[in-house]
């Protein structure tokens, strides 16, 4: 299921003052990542292999909110999903570090 080119995969409002708990935010990030992987028509095993990961179960852990995309893999992860690295990193920051995101970018989305 390919996403139309005109759809903005980064169009989500940043968490507000009543932001969910970090665990909930990681789960939301994981749901978003899972959809991007599906859009790229990759299985968890495919993505893990392309990222040079030994175990595909790490992808599952990230998508289920038990782990985060490691900083050193953000660029490669974005590339494998066909997404622009900077926008991908910024979007993940919104989930993983919402206060830092707010300080850097204010209330703007993307």
pTM: 0.80
Q: What CATH number should be reported for the domain holding residue 81? A: 1.10.260.40
Number of domains in the chain: 1
Q: Is residue 51 part of a domain?
A: yes
Residue 27 lies in domain: 22-105
Q: Is residue 101 part of a domain?
A: yes
Q: Is residue 30 part of a domain?
A: yes
Instruction: Calculate mean pLDDT across residues 5-11.
Output: 59
Q: Let me know: does 64 contact 27? Beta carbons within 8 Å.
A: yes
Q: Is residue 5 part of a domain?
A: no
Q: Let me know: does 105 contact 26? Beta carbons within 8 Å.
A: no
Q: What angle do CA 84, 71, 26 make, to 5 degrees?
A: 90
Q: Is residue 11 part of a domain?
A: no
Please identify which residue in the block is written with the tokens 């570090």. 97
The yes-or-no verdict on residue 88 having pLDDT over 90 is yes
Of 20-24, 53-57, 66-70, 91-95, the least confident: 20-24
């Amino acid at each position: 299921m390919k996403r139309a080119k005109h759809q903005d995969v980064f169009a989500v409002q940043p968490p507000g003052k009543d932001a969910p708990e970090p665990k909930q935010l990681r789960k939301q990030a994981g749901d978003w990542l899972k959809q991007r992987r599906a859009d790229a028509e990759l299985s968890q095993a495919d993505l893990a292999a392309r990222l040079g990961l030994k175990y595909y179960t790490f992808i599952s852990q990230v998508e289920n909110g038990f782990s985060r995309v490691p900083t050193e893999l953000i660029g490669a992860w974005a590339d494998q999903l066909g997404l622009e690295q900077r926008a991908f990193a910024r979007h993940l920051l919104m989930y993983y570090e919402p206060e830092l995101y707010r300080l850097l970018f204010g209330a703007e989305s993307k």
